[in-house]
Amino acid sequence: MRLVSATTALSYLLFIFLPPSPLQGQEAEEVTPKDKLIIETVLRLQNFDLESSAPAKAAVMRYLRAEQGSERYFELIERFQPAEIVESLVQYSLANASETGGVRAAELLFAMDKGDYLVETTTSDNETNARAAVQLIGHVAGKQTVSILLPLMQNDAASVGVRTSALKALGKRLTGQQQIMKLVTTGNLADDLKFAAANALLGSTNKEIATTAAKHLELPATADSQPLPALSALVQRKGDAKAGLKVFQTAGTCNKCHKVRGEGREVGPDLSEIGSKLSREAMYVSILDPSAAVSHNFETYSILTLDGLAITGLLISQTDKAVTLRNSEGIDKTIDQEDIEIFKKQKTSLMPQDLQKLLTVDQLVNLVEYTLTLKKPGN
Ligand code: HEC
């Protein structure tokens, strides 16, 4: 039988032919030349059962830990599907959700019947991971995508960011678009998803969906009193970065809340290197639909005091004695804990939701061009 002879050949390789590696027996994580030889061999053997050889298994696991994301890494997992790799494969896919490698890792998880790990992550408190999981499911879950992501998109307990990611992933396939459309036409789509829905459906390649969407959804109007073009059209346009700088400091009011290279007020994140962080499309979304992608550490909180004062802002500090919030004018207010009746994290961004109405389409395109030039040094 092939299996027996293959295994025999391998034990020969392991125990007789090669001298023991100097690292053997220690907790060495380095991949030795011997490991590499074993790996070459087991990959060539058909029907080889990795569980039948502890040394071969150890070599493979060492390799998988040391060479994450390499071609061989994926090949080994696909071939042997070791149960021990699942957790780190989940982490790898989440950390690389926007790269080919992350999507490949997610494909393997579904192939190993471990897609549930990603599905569970969609409801994690870690917003970044939750959104990464949604994005991956959209790429790899195939027919299951709609049944996983449609309920999530409508789950009030999930953040706007996660629900928007679910909508975007659903919007990439026709069956998903049809489901979103159903919610739109029956008036059941949440208001905070309308911007994303308009972008997903108005630009549909399916004519019927695009036409019906135009009857029900409208992108918000700009300063030209025209509705915004769809994101898919905006990202095709090139602007004038120099003119964009001026928009940033004047019509757009961006510098009232953002610092760039030391200038501007510090309510929102410093944007000096934002062009290295966000793609053109993500930049538009950050500006036009800020609540869909609230950046970490910039969540909005609100306080209602016992005597009825309402304050909304970013959390600057919180102790047993008092809480300090910074409002959208950049003013810090400190409230004693004993005066607070309600203290709550908000789902929306402190950044205004309707900045497009201050800008013409050309100004917006120039503004985005400018923000994309704000890169890390040497990048
Ligand atoms: C009233 C204050 C305010 C104004 C005005 C404002 N922003 Fe913001 N902005 C914020 C806050 C707060 C955040 C962080 C929360 C979030 O991500 O939504 C933010 C986030 C961002 C982000 C995402 C940053 C990141 O690290 O992901 C970008 C890009 C951005 N703003 C660009 C702009 C531009 C361009 C303008 C002008 C058109 C502008 N903002 C106007 C407050 C403001």
Segment 18-48, tens digit of pLDDT: 544 444 444 547 899 999 999 999 999 988 9
Taking alpha carbons only, the member of 125, 138, 205 closest to residue 165 is 138
Residue 133: strand pairing partners: none
**43 φ, ψ to 5°?**
-70, -30
Residue among 253, 257, 283, 375 to mutate when testing ligand 1 (max atoms within 8 A of CB): 257
- Low-confidence winner among 81-85, 329-333, 338-342 (lowest mean pLDDT): 329-333
First to last CA, the chain: 57
Q: Whose CA is nearest to atom 34 of ligand 1?
A: 254
Residue 313: strand pairing partners: 301
- The pLDDT > 70 percentage for the chain reads 92
Distance CA 252, CA 195 (A): 20
Strand runs labelled E in 134-285: none
Q: Whose CA is nearest to atom 40 of ligand 1?
A: 254
Distance CA 361, CA 229 (A): 8
Amino acid identity, position 307: D
pLDDT at 87: 95
**CA 286 / ligand 1 centre spacing (Å):** 7
**CA 176 / ligand 1 centre spacing (Å):** 30
Ligand 1 contact, 374 CB (< 6 A): no
User: What is the average pLDDT across 293-312?
Assistant: 86
Domain 231-293+353-372 has CATH 1.10.760.10: yes
pLDDT at 183: 97
The answer, yes or no, to whether residue 3 has pLDDT greater than 60, is no
pLDDT at 340: 94
Cα-based torsion angle of the residue sequence 359, 361, 366, 367 in order, rounded to the nearest 10 degrees? 40
User: What is the average pLDDT across 160-187?
Assistant: 94
- Entry pTM: 0.76
Ligand 1 contact, 350 CB (< 6 A): yes
**CA 241 / ligand 1 centre spacing (Å):** 18
Looking at CATH, the fold of the domain delimited by 300-345 is given as SH3 type barrels. (2.30.30)
Segment 97-141, tens digit of pLDDT: 988 999 999 999 999 999 999 999 999 999 999 999 999 999 998
